[in-house]
Amino acid sequence: MILYRIGELAKAGGVSERTIDYYTKLGLISPEKRTLKNYRLYSHETLVRLKRINELKQEKYSLDEIKEMLEKWDSVPEEKQVSDKLSHLELHMQQLQREVKELEPLIKQMKPSHARLVLLNLLPQGAACIEAIRLFLEQHGPTL
């Protein structure tokens, strides 16, 4: 098991040591164990959690909201988390399908050259998303 001291965790997580201290005091992260000299040691799972916290902060969640989310995630079995995320993804895809259908009449009204430019800008992103989902399903999905 890989264990990190505060400085190592801070460097690996791209935050300051003060941030690690603060998150520990808030209960967002916690040390795995302590050394004989009472240094806190953090696990690799804590590093993953720290990265998740940073992602949520980038999405503009407050630390209180993040703590609440982390507590919910901790109390839910992993299978339920995956199932919930996949359900959310499915709902999001259905919403995108509805929005595409709403765009169809508008695109048909556009000049062909302008419509082609709009679609060319969207296709790489959409294709990348579709490819990511396809790869995920190939690796983790049921065999059909």
How far is the C-alpha of 9 from the C-alpha of 44, rounded, in Å?
9
Q: What is the pLDDT of residues 107-134, one digit of tens each?
A: 788 888 887 777 777 766 676 777 777 7
How far is the C-alpha of 93 from the C-alpha of 87, rounded, in Å?
10
Q: How many CB atoms lie within 10 A of CB 56?
A: 16
Q: What is the pLDDT of residues 30-46, one digit of tens each?
A: 999 999 999 999 999 99
Q: What is the pLDDT of residues 23-32, one digit of tens each?
A: 999 999 999 9
Q: What is the pLDDT of residues 48-107, one digit of tens each?
A: 999 999 999 998 999 999 999 888 888 766 676 677 777 777 777 778 778 778 878 887
Half-sphere exposure of 42 (CA within 13 A, CB side): 25
How far is the C-alpha of 3 from the C-alpha of 43, rounded, in Å?
5
Retrieve residue 127's tokens. 């294709």
